[in-house]
A and B are shown apart, each in its own frame.
Chain A
Amino acid sequence: MSLDKATVARIARLARIEVPEEALAPMARELDTILTFVEQLGQVNTDGVAPMTSVTPMRLRMREDRVSDGGDAARVLSNAPEAQDGFFVVPKVVE
């Protein structure tokens, strides 16, 4: 298979990463090299093999459903590029 520019543009949009038009073709070639490499897996017979869901046999622990932290908006917002009145500020989304 080989990736075309349109596919790269589509996945870049899905990933929310701006890729300039002139970078699409070189990016397609790079990604194609990696995809060709990983497609070796097609040689492995995996019929009836369960996909791994946990690397070590472990069961997730239950915990009490209670508030253990919070009420600290100032620290939560301390790294925000833009904040106001205890909220994160983003570009306008509703006209």
Chain B
Amino acid sequence: MKVEIEKLTIASARAGLRAREFSATELTEAAIAVMEAARPLNAMITETPERARAMAAESDRRLTRGEAGPLEGIPIAIKDLFCTDGVQTTAGSRILKGFIPPYESTVSANLWRAGAVMLGKANLDEFAMGSSNETSHFGRVENPWRRADGKPLVPGGSSGGSAAAVAAGFCLGATGTDTGGSIRQPASFTGIVGIKPTYGRCSRWGIVAFASSLDQAGPMTRTVRDAAIMLGAMASVDEKDSTSVDRPVPDYEAAMTGDVRGLRIGIPKEYRVDGMPAEIEALWRQGIDWLRSAGAEIVDVSLPHTGYALPAYYIVAPAEASSNLARYDGVRFGLRVPGNSLPDMYAKTRGEGFGAEVRRRILIGTYVLSAGYYDAYYVKAQQVRTLILRDFERAWERVDAILTPTAPSAAFGIGEKSDDPISMYLNDVFTVPVNLAGLPGISVPAGLSREGLPLGLQLIGRAFDEETLFRVGGVLEEAAGFSARPQTWWKG
């Protein structure tokens, strides 16, 4: 039977597979066909159709035996930042081109154990550094959504390939990673759901490291329920990541009761930033009204250090990146550019192997960590981080979750912001504080801009209270009734 994967969700595909309306093999063939037709988006760096077919056949055997896992037979894409055993893993960088990991990341291993089927590796900003997916060595990704003028738009970043893959409809979910907004901002730009879980909820082992105190993996899906199902499969404690948390993974799907009566939702006044488009402000008000109508109590809160989150982030993240990326030296894996001495080989390899944005961040990080500057920059930023966390802790005395816009704009045009790093960094103004404080945040598609582009709202929760985010997110999703889909212009 011909399966229309674009019309399915993880939850509906799960039901269809278990009721034998279609097989995992049929679902995967549909996914591969749509993926191939969507190549103009450049969402994938590596397609793995043969592996997908083999995994789907295994899924069909398990379905027949009644041994189906929670994601049995569900085709997904993996951000090319997760190491996959025997499949090239590039981090979007020339320096890792051709790297074939001899091991599997814990998160992807968890997904395969749950029965998911790998379609391939999704494009991303180089080393996950970017907000537009324009810094990938393997080419930019185009957003499936377009304005009426038809100009190509960015899908957001850094998980831009994952977002485009889900929005284009060829996979039912994709993994992302989020260091400063890299799951939530692209989710908002492409009309899908993305959640960054609490720091420590998912293992970071086998994920190419960017900023270790901020990085966290999470799912990107079409619906809130799908995100709940997929996160349940991704999360685990892991002896190979000492910062992964040893607490049971809740039944996130069961948390979606549809009832938010009596919950207190905080509205932080500091998120009304200068120059925010009126339509973002209007959507935010709409979201407040929806939750109030559903019986939630709306409470004004203050997060006074919000404005200092981005500057603190642009010290902490580059500092950690400069240390993490020291391993790319042309000796053990990846690119080697010959030099006339060992230090010369290192410098040439790194000079040619890293792209402009990565070089810039490593140099910033090296500078702020160098002798004489460490206290003025790095220690200061970590102190500000403590203040940002305290702001949230004070808010949690009065509210159960916080509602904000996800991003200060809809998707912008390719090339529009690539010459101005600061204006690019401002994309993450609403998402970065959540990473600095280690909290969970979810982006839910809530409406369309005047130009017909998707806009998301963000919910922020207490540490390890993803359940409240799924509960409130489900109600928000229901009220918004977001059903718009991009025109499939790429099919020609």
A residues engaging B (CB < 8 A)?
3, 7-8, 11-19, 27, 30-31, 33-35, 37-44, 46, 49-53, 55-56, 58, 60-61, 63, 75-76, 78-82, 88, 90-93
Q: Say if the beta carbon of B275 comes within 8 Å of chain A.
A: no
Interface residues on chain B, number (Cβ under 8 Å): 76
A49–B387 CB distance below 8 A: yes
Give me 19 A-to-B residue pairs in the complex whose CB atoms sit less than 8 angstroms apart, sorted by A's number.
Answer: A8-B363, A11-B370, A17-B350, A17-B351, A17-B363, A18-B352, A31-B367, A37-B422, A42-B380, A46-B384, A50-B386, A55-B199, A61-B242, A79-B98, A81-B330, A88-B331, A91-B338, A91-B340, A93-B342
Bound form: Cα–Cα A90–B362 in Å: 24
Interface residue? B336 (CB, 8 A): yes
Question: In this assembly, does B438 line the interface, its C-beta being within 8 Å of a C-beta of chain A?
Answer: yes
Q: Mark B49-77, 1 if CB is under 8 A from A, else 0.
A: 00000000000000000000000000000
B334 within 8 A of A: yes
Contact B360 A17 (CB under 8 A): no
Cα A7 to Cα B352 with chains together (Å): 21
User: B364 on the interface (CB 8 Å rule)?
Assistant: yes
Given contacts A31-B360, A34-B360, A56-B463, 7 further A-B contacts (CB under 8 A): A16-B343, A18-B351, A40-B308, A51-B383, A52-B385, A58-B243, A79-B99
Residue contact B342 to A14, C-beta cutoff 8 Å: no
The 4 closest A-B pairs by CB, nearest first: A55-B438, A18-B351, A51-B382, A81-B336
Which residues of B are found within 8 Å of A63, using beta-carbon distances? 239
B479 interfacial contact with A, CB 8 Å: no
B351 touches A38 (CB 8 A): no
Q: Which of A35, A43, A52, A80 contacts B386 (CB 8 A)?
A: A52
Considering the complex, which residues of chain B in the window 288-313 have a beta carbon less than 8 Å from any beta carbon of chain A? 305, 307-308, 310-312
CB-CB nearest in chain B for A80:
B332
Docked-complex contact B379 and A51, CB < 8 angstroms = yes
Q: Which residue of B lies closest to A51 (CB)?
A: B382
B:433-474 near A, CB below 8 Å? 436-438, 463-464
What are the residues of chain A within 8 A of B366 when measuring CB–CB? 11, 14-15
| Contact status B346-A16, CB under 8 Å | yes
The docked-state distance in angstroms from the alpha carbon of A42 to that of B375 is 12
Please state if B213 and A78 are interface contacts (CB–CB under 8 Å).
Answer: no
Expressed in whole angstroms, the Cα–Cα distance for A81 and B359 within the complex equals: 22
